[in-house]
Structure 1
Amino acid sequence: MKFENVRWGIIGCGDVTEVKSGPAFQKSKNSELVAVMRRNGQLAREYAERHGVPKWYDDADALINDADVDAVYIATPPSSHKEYTIKVAKAGKPIYVEKPMALHTEECNEMIAASKEAGVPLYVAYYRRALPRFKKIKELLDNDAIGNVCFVSTTQYQKALENVKDSWRVQPEISGGGLFVDVGSHTLDILDFLLGPIKEVEGFTSNQAGNYQAEDIVTGAYLFESGIHGMGNWCFTAYDNVDRNEIIGSKGKITFSTFGNEPVVLTTMDGTNEFAFDMPKHVHQPLVETIVAELTGKSDECPSIGVSGGRTNLVMGQFLGDVVEE
């Protein structure tokens, strides 16, 4: 499946598409955004006018079956990812779906199977895999900058968000869990990118503050297929905000944040080196560019696909105790 120019449609043109993702489809080479859909037709029309998009819909099926739409970006909450992915696959069009990929790993598997059966690619919006800062970390690891990797440690905690109980992000039937699923998925996915798949998890979850139904703290240990050990702590009711990952090796360590823009720090016996990067204005754009390059036959390198996205869902499910690997 090759295109000369990829014409995109978006299902669910909400806040995430305003700056982070939507403009990326217009600014990437050989790519254009030709249609958007939102159930509220007036909001869809306003979005289209605001961003210079020629078509808008209030019906997803109409967008999916529009002959002028080559590929579809699904930017709705996770509860509808499977439904829309299967519809787009049956229409024979490539799919780019928001993260987390679905409510749970069984849905991910159905989505992967549908795309495979239809012969269309399935990409997942874990855009950090294409950002320069994380590619640099991967390069350091591949070049043996810290020797043999022994373990990785993640500490992420933040202040309790106000008025969050009404957000879909903490309603498991819509999001798949709490803020751990929304926020922690990014870290677990980037660790998969950097260190390979996680094969075993032992974790604990609690709702300590009682601000909403879902878990608000998750802690645990995990084992990578490579034998690397990992430990993680995610708390969403703490006194402060901290975002720190450390990859420890036999010759040094790499320290970095998942969400911040602080320099990546390499520490060895020879001293400390810092690598600073500017965050792209449209953070999805580097990943979208890899997708477009693949769809136009310029390269075959998109690093975030259905199989890798499904692995992150599986690991989160193992933490939360709602998935049993067969």
Structure 2
Amino acid sequence: MTRQIRWGVLGCAGIAVKTVIPAIQSSRLGRVTAIASRNGDKARQMAERFGIARAYGSYEDLLADPEIDAIYNPLPNHLHVPLTIRALQQGKPVLCEKPIALDAQEAGTLLDAQKAAGLPVAEAFMVRHHPQWKQAKALIAEGRLGEVGAIQTIFSYYLDDPGNIRNQADIGGGGLFDVGCYAINTARYLFDAEPLRAIALIERDPAFDTDRLVSGLLAFPKGRQLAFTCSTQLALTQKITVLGTRGRLEIPVPFNAPADLPTRLVLDDGRDLDGGGRIEIAVEAVDQYREQADAFCDAVLFGTPLATGLEDAIANMKVIDALFRSAENGRWEEP
């Protein structure tokens, strides 16, 4: 019988509590056996809520626990690299929330630590573990869209709470880090290529100084393009359209696909504007967070390659850096 990975969770972030901890607890290969918070009472409450054996009042105590096999790091963005490095130094592989770092240079220091430790580190892009994305890429590879030329992506929500970490610029808040990164990651995945140059417009919140509205354009090889808009202060929206010479593909709920309901892809051959060539492709219900947890456990236990390892994470981070530079100088920038 394959042994299970004993997970330790750093902090009580919303994504951990709402999705990732329940997903790990129901996974094939792992269980959460410890949780830490700088507020010990909060850690104990979460431990009781999820049936977690141990609660710690400091991150360091959890990282030093010899009975923890792997770490999930959903802390605020500025703590991704330092706490992941500390975990590696304690001999523990890490699944770290996106973005992996605040810039590509910082991510490079994490890569150095990962190589020294010889342990897996993955960026938690759960979408890469949902079958709707694998199906979308297969349809493109089969030529169902003809020659693919463009992807258009929208990802937005409205959040004006000043206490929320997404609205705190000094710890890595803002739309590009939080949701724009998905547009970049999934375009790189579908095109199976890295962008050559990037340009962006950014509108910042006057009080928070976070990038609350970002529109970007990425130029890929073979003339392909990604155009995306992300926002932390516009109506809740998620949508991706992939355009080819013989059809288009829509992913109606690309990022936060429900764990308990089927999703669908919409394929249209473009014969008219009334949906005459439209078909819907059903995709089974999948908890993408559970799939992500098991994929990481596979990497730890069996050396299975990671879908979003550090090299992939750094490539994504370089594009984000280029977009920020472009917004400052008004020019195209190379990642």
1:203 aligned residue: 200
1:285 aligned residue: 290
Contact 1:37-1:59 at 8 Å conserved across structures: yes
Deviations 1:143-185, CA, capped at 9 Å, x for gaps? 2221221111223444x434x233211222212x412321211
**Structure 1 residue 57: Cα displacement:** 0.8
Question: CA 1:260/1:87 → structure 2, altered by over 3 Å: closer, same or farther?
Answer: closer
Q: Spell out the pairing of 1:150-299 with structure 2 (5 A cutoff).
A: 150-158=149-157, 160-162=158-160, 164-175=161-172, 177-196=173-192, 197-207=194-204, 210-225=206-221, 227-238=223-234, 240-257=235-252, 258-259=254-255, 261=257, 263-268=264-269, 271-277=277-283, 280=286, 282-297=287-302
Q: Alignment identity in percent?
A: 24
Deviations 1:21-57, CA, capped at 9 Å, x for gaps? 0122222112121111111001101111111111111
1:111 aligned residue: 110
User: Mind listing any 5+ residue stretches in structure 2 that lack a counterpart?
Assistant: 258-262, 272-276
Q: Secondary structure at the match of 1:173?
A: helix
- In structure 2, what residue type is equivalent to 1:170? N
Q: Secondary structure at the match of 2:211?
A: coil
Question: What RMSD over aligned residues (CA atoms) do the two structures have, in Å?
Answer: 2.4
Separation in 2 of the partners of 1:189 and 1:4?
A: 32
Separation in 2 of the partners of 1:260 and 1:63?
A: 30
2:260 aligned residue: none
Separation in 1 of the partners of 2:154 and 2:15?
A: 25
Tell me, yes or no, if structure 1 residue 306 matches structure 2 residue 310.
Answer: yes
Question: CA 1:243/1:29 → structure 2, altered by over 3 Å: closer, same or farther?
Answer: closer
Higher RCO, Cα 8 Å, sep 6+: 1
**Structure 1 residue 235: Cα displacement:** 3.8
2:64 aligned residue: 65
When structure 1 is superposed on structure 2, of 221-230 and 24-33 the one drifting more is: 221-230
Separation in 2 of the partners of 1:78 and 1:161?
A: 17
2:48 aligned residue: 49
2:132 aligned residue: 133
User: Mind listing any 5+ residue stretches in structure 1 that lack a counterpart?
Assistant: none
Separation in 1 of the partners of 2:52 and 2:80?
A: 23
Q: Secondary structure at the match of 1:300?
A: coil
Question: CA 1:26/1:157 → structure 2, altered by over 3 Å: closer, same or farther?
Answer: closer
Separation in 1 of the partners of 2:317 and 2:170?
A: 15
Contact 2:175-2:231 at 8 Å conserved across structures: no
**Structure 1 residue 317: Cα displacement:** 1.8
Deviations 1:284-324, CA, capped at 9 Å, x for gaps? 11111111122222x72431212212222221221122898
Task: Tell me how many residue pairs correspond in the alignment.
Answer: 317
Question: CA 1:66/1:260 → structure 2, altered by over 3 Å: closer, same or farther?
Answer: closer
Question: CA 1:17/1:237 → structure 2, altered by over 3 Å: closer, same or farther?
Answer: closer
**Structure 1 residue 274: Cα displacement:** 1.1
Contact 1:156-1:243 at 8 Å conserved across structures: yes
Contact 1:89-1:95 at 8 Å conserved across structures: yes
What stretches of structure 1 move > 6 A for 4+ residues in a row? 322-326
**Structure 1 residue 78: Cα displacement:** 0.8
Separation in 1 of the partners of 2:59 and 2:233?
A: 37
When structure 1 is superposed on structure 2, of 81-90 and 249-258 the one drifting more is: 249-258
